[in-house]
Structure 1
Amino acid sequence: MRRTELENTAVAFQHAVDLGYTYLETDVHATSDGVLMAFHDATLDRTTDRNGAISALPHREVARARVAGKEPVPLLEDLLGAWPEARFNIDLKSDGAVLPMLEVLRRTQAWDRVCVGSFDQARLERARRLYGPRVATSCGPVDVARLRLASLSPLLRPTASRVPVCAQIPMSHGGFPILSRDVIRAAHRLGMQVHVWTVNEPEVMERLLDAGVDGIITDNTVALREVLVRRGRWNQPGPRTTKNG
């Protein structure tokens, strides 16, 4: 969402829920004592009034930090409890977050309300083994490469032991195009949805929806809502996801 709301805070999530969003996105890091925090950066330095790596600090220290000097860093468990009807897309930002995530899922029984992803394929594979089939996962980088190969021919299929439920990808990376209509078709052929991040321009949102994507991850929650309302799709299940991390 636009930074009129404080990122990584309960205020930001509440703003999105008030707009009508039911799919929320965040990143997680674990403290040194294994408490899972909803926070994008590995350190507190950029957005809070404290310094230090989250993984090197106990929860009691991280709990004292205030985003922009105002709002505390939320626990993932608190977010899941605050909005029991919402579904969460969760990016495991560190290896240390994998086991605490499992513990949170066990305590909250939110197995069917989360989709877990990571930019680290090994981390994601470990999470898949630990969490089992009850937890949906998105594509890791190796999965995305396999999907691109599958888009070249209907005869080619990903060889992963467990097909992710969705491909959450940028339009391009490092100047190299990732998203195409062929990739979208291949994902759909394999039973995967396609979610594109991070899209903040209304005209780009329109083009992506025309191309057939299933979800858009955005910081600009108001703009995405307006686009979907114009298209008569706001009250339908599907492509509306807010990004808070």
Structure 2
Amino acid sequence: MRTDGARRVRILAHRGASLEAPQNTLPAFHLAVRQGADAIETDVHWTKDREIVICHDHRIDAVSDGRGEIAEMTYEELLRYDFGYWFTADGGRTYPYRGRGVRILTLREALRAFPSIHFNIDLKPKRPHVGLFLRALEEEDALARVTLASFHHRTLAEARARCPRLRTSASPQEVARVLAMVRAGWRPRAGVKPSYQALQVPYRRYGLTVVTRRFVEAAHQMGVEVDVWTVDDPAEMLALVRQGVDGIVTNSPQILQKLLLELEQ
């Protein structure tokens, strides 16, 4: 049962294999890679002493046995806490990662631990230290394997201006513009390239279907890839593969990997 495009759909592990290990930690990232992930989707914040650390929320309460704002804590202070403390895969019956030494990761540690893996990195703060982020990528020789994402257009614009080589996703405003034009029947002009390389969008939003074949075709005519988040249902994964998307962000890389392997038979 071979489906066109099945081989080229990338698996982007959402915070690692986050259904089976503590999100945004080394165990989750290692598991995602073992399950076939092509890229790790993750998030960064800055500590009080300006270390770039990996965490989705601006507070550590939900993912560790500590409490507080990352921006108000030093990196050394964050190392005191157990970032596997709250993970449970069975509704709270067991907490298999408690006391196993799972600590907060720095961006540099993650890049070094997975030198052949692409990272899709969301800069979470409204006013991040873009220069420090770019310096870290350059010093770790990682510019070529990072896609920068942000919900803040200004952040993306600054990063593009500072480092035109860096691959970025579209901002929400840029995505909205493409959606509006596609729905109005617009077709991209040949040779006109946008400032971003990927449209990273949800499959559906507010009851509306975002990703359609027309949307994917328009993106490809612009020379832009389409990555869809966050999809864990095999039926939705299959529908997206058939529409020709380039990547699927998922909490369960092994489910998507199994589907893609079946489609290649």
Instruction: Tell me if TM exceeds 0.5.
Output: yes
1:203 counterpart residue number: 235
Please give the residue correspondences for 1:31-70 in structure 2 after superposition, counting only pairs within 5 Å: 31-69=47-85, 70=100
Higher relative contact order at CA 8 Å, sep ≥6: structure 1 or structure 2? 2
Q: Which residue identity does 1:89 align to in structure 2?
A: N
What is the rounded CA distance, in whole Å, between the counterparts of 2:187 and 2:155 in structure 1?
29
1:27 to 22, 43, 47: 43
Matched, 1:86 2:129: no
Where in structure 1 are there 5+ consecutive unaligned residues?
234-245
2:155 to 81, 106, 123: 123
CA contact (8 A) 1:167 1:194 kept: yes
The answer to which of 47-56 and 172-181 deviates more is 172-181
2:211 to 176, 179, 201: 179
Deviations along 1:162-218, one digit per CA (max 9) or x if unpaired, are 431110100122323322222111101100110000000111100110111110000
CA contact (8 A) 1:36 1:97 kept: no
What is the rounded CA distance, in whole Å, between the counterparts of 1:232 and 1:102 in structure 2?
38
Deviations along 1:75-108, one digit per CA (max 9) or x if unpaired, are 1111111111111000110122423311211211
CA contact (8 A) 2:32 2:253 kept: yes
CA contact (8 A) 1:144 1:167 kept: yes
Query: 1:96 and 1:156, CA in 2 relative to 1: closer, same or farther beyond 3 A?
Result: same
Give the fraction of aligned pairs with identical amino acids, expressed as a percent: 33
2:139 counterpart residue number: 107
What is the rounded CA distance, in whole Å, between the counterparts of 1:154 and 1:214 in structure 2?
21
Structure 2 SS opposite 1:67: coil
Query: 1:177 and 1:187, CA in 2 relative to 1: closer, same or farther beyond 3 A?
Result: same
Q: Report the CA distance between 1:138 and its aligned residue.
A: 0.5
What is the rounded CA distance, in whole Å, between the counterparts of 1:103 and 1:61 in structure 2?
24
The structure with the largest helix share of the pair is 1
The answer to which of 171-180 and 32-41 deviates more is 171-180
Deviations along 1:40-82, one digit per CA (max 9) or x if unpaired, are 1110001101111111111111222221334101111111111
Where in structure 2 are there 5+ consecutive unaligned residues?
1-16, 86-99
What is the rounded CA distance, in whole Å, between the counterparts of 1:156 and 1:13 in structure 2?
37
2:4 counterpart residue number: none
CA contact (8 A) 1:121 1:141 kept: yes
CA contact (8 A) 1:29 1:55 kept: yes
CA contact (8 A) 1:139 1:168 kept: yes
Larger Rg: 2
Q: Which residue identity does 1:223 align to in structure 2?
A: I
1:167 counterpart residue number: 199
